[in-house]
Amino acid sequence: MTAQAAALSAPDRPTSTWTGWGQWLALATMTIDHLTRYVLPSHWELDWAGASIGRIAFPLFAAMVAWHGLFNTRNPLRYARRILIIGLVAQLPYMLMPRASDAFLLNVCFTLALGLAWGAWLRDLFARVRAGTLGSPWVGLGVAATLAVWYLLGDWVEYGHRGLLLIPLFMLAMHHLHAAGDGLVERLGAVALSVPLLIVAGLMNSSDMAKSFTVATCLTVLWLAAGAHRLTPAVPSVMPRRLWLAWYPGHFALIALWLWASGGLG
């Protein structure tokens, strides 16, 4: 009876129509960012595009991964493994991109997969605490262990420590915004739990323009989680699954081929 009551009292799963739009926008803004960074001549002075439009891509990818991991998949770890496979395929062409530093770095798919795995693990951990099957000392030990792993891995992945935090913080904020009732205190609590996400998003970039686009993207997704997801119309053209899975490694491979042909990899 307790499980049935909990199921009945739980909020309905939100619609994910907005992610159809998000897929097209994420791929477009990511491609603009990478073209201005690696392909287009510097004398065209299009750096502003990467520092504005390009700053939409990562928080939008993180938001969609967090949304699906929280609301749409029964096995977030299997979902994280699929993202990790894309990252493994993309790593070689990603490493061919010209960079200011020669330090080894894992591409953004690793950041997304690790962030999702961490967020899902923390959610299950605190669910066991609420169910009374796990004591507080074990929770503290588990959280401390994951923070140690986060500290060690942060220097090895794209977007670093702050990037790894984004999906767990998205999941925390989305859950409470969606589950909040009509009471003022409950709604204010959900808004307060969104603040850490916005702070981390604001710290991810150096320029004010980049910060603005990143934070605005996060705010838009939080608004969707708070109920605006119901207002989103269906996307006119659904992105083909193969295109969605192949674009990240594929566009890096094409950029690497262009750079090699033009002497940019010399």
In a domain, 4, yes or no: no
In a domain, 142, yes or no: yes
Domain coverage including residue 46? 17-261
First to last CA, the chain: 68
For 190-209, write each residue's pLDDT tens digit: 999 999 999 999 999 989 99
Helix axis angle, 241-261 relative to 76-95, nearest 10°? 20
In a domain, 3, yes or no: no
Phi, psi of 180 (to 5 degrees): -65, 135
In a domain, 85, yes or no: yes
What pTM does this model have?
0.92
Q: How confident is the model at residue 13 (pLDDT cuts 50, 70, 90)?
A: confident
Question: Number of structural domains, the chain?
Answer: 1
In a domain, 151, yes or no: yes
In a domain, 115, yes or no: yes
In a domain, 5, yes or no: no
Average pLDDT score over the chain: 91
Cα dihedral 67→69→174→178 (10° resolution): 90
Inform me whether the pLDDT recorded for 187 exceeds 60. Answer: yes
In a domain, 224, yes or no: yes
Compute the half-sphere exposure of residue 18: CA atoms within 13 Å on the CB side of its CA.
21
For 202-254, write each residue's pLDDT tens digit: 999 989 999 999 999 999 999 999 999 999 999 999 999 999 999 999 999 99
